[in-house]
Amino acid sequence: MRFCSELILGTAVAAAGLLPLAQAEAPLDAAPSPRAVSVVRGDARTGRLVRSVVVKSKPAVVDSDAAVRTLVEEAAKSHDVSPLLVHSVIQVESNYNPYAVSPKGAQGLMQLMPATARRFGVTDSFDARQNIEGGVRYLKFLQDTFKDDKLAIAAYNAGEGAVTKYSDVPPYAETQSYVSKVGAKYSKAKLEAEKAAAAVKAAEEPKLSEDETRHLLQYRDSEGRLHLATR
């Protein structure tokens, strides 16, 4: 039932810059994408060499919001993770940019680090299907590990080791801000889903006809209790 109410909101999730449908449906065992290359540059501040990932080329992007929503819903349902939580993570991580690369090297829609991608069987983090599948599997692992969505969200950002160390959200400004942003989006999405579900339920409830309403009577008995009856 949780998925029934939460998926009502799925069509209202705003997305920008999504993968073309053909790419979104690429098989999970596809060869690694040549779009990403590893580049070593000097850090002007520290003077150290820093390795980063750069996307060499990007194919034309078409409007495929529905395709990405479908991928999120399928992966979320398969692994028993709220699709609303997955959307909230994607919004904060990449704002639906499938080619996003962070300064630390996290890649794609759900910003998977290369080691995390390999850990969950992702060979191309810029493939929407693989990225979402890997990100959702990681979220499920974190939920099962910490039994708490807030800690799972914190671990998604800081790593499970940091959350285990502090037995709470780590005292890192970035992680605390991340947990706050994802939590706020998730809470808002759940509230909107509940309202939408209530509206659907109300619309489906049988209504009294005008004739039935006209013959509805009210009266009080000798003890003052109110009764309703039809005639």
- Residues labelled as active-site residues: 93
Question: Which residue do the tokens 């991928």 mark?
Answer: 71
> Which residues have a Cβ under 8 Å from the Cβ of 78 and sit 6 or more positions away?
136
Chain-centroid distance, C-alpha 63 = 19
Q: Write out the two tokens for 184.
A: 């706020």
Pairwise CA distance, residues 120 & 122, whole Å:
6
Q: In the chain, count of helices (H) and strands (E)?
A: 10, 4
Closest to 85 in 3D by CA, of 153, 172, 16: 153
Angle between helices 128-146 and 83-93 (to 10 degrees): 110
* 128 touches 150 (CB < 8 A): no
List, in sequence order, the alpha helices (H) in the chain.
Answer: 2-7, 21-24, 65-79, 83-93, 114-119, 128-146, 149-158, 160-166, 173-204, 210-214
Other CB atoms within 10 Å distance of the CB of residue 124: 23
Question: Which residue do the tokens 């991340």 mark?
Answer: 178
* 152 touches 169 (CB < 8 A): no
Residue 160: HSE in the Cβ half-sphere, 13 Å Cα cutoff: 14
